[in-house]
Amino acid sequence: MNATFLKSIVNIEDLPKSDRPQIALVGRSNVGKSSLINHLVNQKNLARVSASPGRTRTINIFDVDKRFFLIDLPGYGFAKASKEKRIAFENLLNDYMTRAEHLKFVLVIVDARLGLSDIDREMLTFLETTSVPFAVIANKIDKLKKSEILALQREVAKDEHGIKLILHSNVTDSGQGEIRQAIEQAIKAAAKK
C-alpha cells in the first residue's frame, strides 16, 4: 500500500470532495491508532505517534493508493482533556460518523490488554444504529499470554454485538493481512450497492 498524509480537518465540510471510500479508525485515546496506520501501510512515520494520550485532536486523512482514504478520528474517553475539549472531540466524532456519506467501513481499535471497555461498547452500539459495517481490532496482542488472548476472544464472542474480531500486533505482524482483507471486502461490497 502506498499512502500519503492528505490533511487534518476540524469540520466535516472539509472532507475530500471525492467519492472514494473512506475507512475510519476509531478508539480510545492511546490505543495505538497511529501505530496501526503505519503498520498497515508499511510506513514508519506516516501517522504521528505520541506517547501522550489525546494528541489526535483533528480528523487526519490519509490517501491510500489513490483508491480510498484512511480517516484517523480523535480518540474518545481522554479524561485529562478539559470538559469543553472532550465535548468538542465527541461532537466532531459524532458529526463525522453520522454525516460522512462515503464512510464504508469502521475499524474500532481496542487495547487487547484491557478488552472492551464500556465506552468501546457504547461505540459498538452506536455503530449498530448506522448501516456502516465495522470490525474490532484487538491491538497490542504481543503483550498478552495465549491464555489471555483466548479469554479476550471468549469475551468478544459472547458479546451481543456479533463482532468480527481481528488480533493485531505491530511487533509480530499479526493481523495486518486480515485488516487489509477486511478493508478490501468492505470496499468491494460498497461498490456493489
CATH number at residue 29: 3.40.50.300
**What is the 8-class DSSP label of residue 142?**
G
Pair type for strands 59-64 and 68-72: antiparallel
Helix (H) or strand (E) holding 38: helix 33-40
Q: pTM of this prediction?
A: 0.91
Q: Are 17 and 74 in contact (CB under 8 A)?
A: no
pLDDT at residue 19 in the model: 94
pLDDT at residue 26 in the model: 94
**3-state class (DSSP) for residue 104:** strand
**What is the 8-class DSSP label of residue 48?**
P
Report the 10 Å Cβ neighbour count for 182: 20
pLDDT at residue 56 in the model: 54
pLDDT at residue 82 in the model: 65
Total number of domains constituting the chain: 1
Q: Which domain holds residue 66?
A: 3-192
pLDDT at residue 30 in the model: 82
pLDDT at residue 193 in the model: 74
User: Would you give per-residue pLDDT tens digits along the chain (193 residues)?
Assistant: 889 999 999 889 999 999 999 999 999 888 889 899 999 999 988 987 755 444 557 899 999 999 999 999 988 765 555 667 667 767 788 889 889 999 999 999 999 999 888 888 888 888 888 888 999 999 999 999 999 999 988 888 776 567 789 999 999 989 999 999 999 999 999 888 7
What b/e readout covers 34-70, taking b as 16+ CB neighbours within 10 angstroms?
bbbbbbbbebeebbeeeeebbebbbbbbbbbeeebbb
User: For the chain, first and last CA: distance in Å?
Assistant: 25
pLDDT at residue 107 in the model: 97
pLDDT at residue 159 in the model: 66
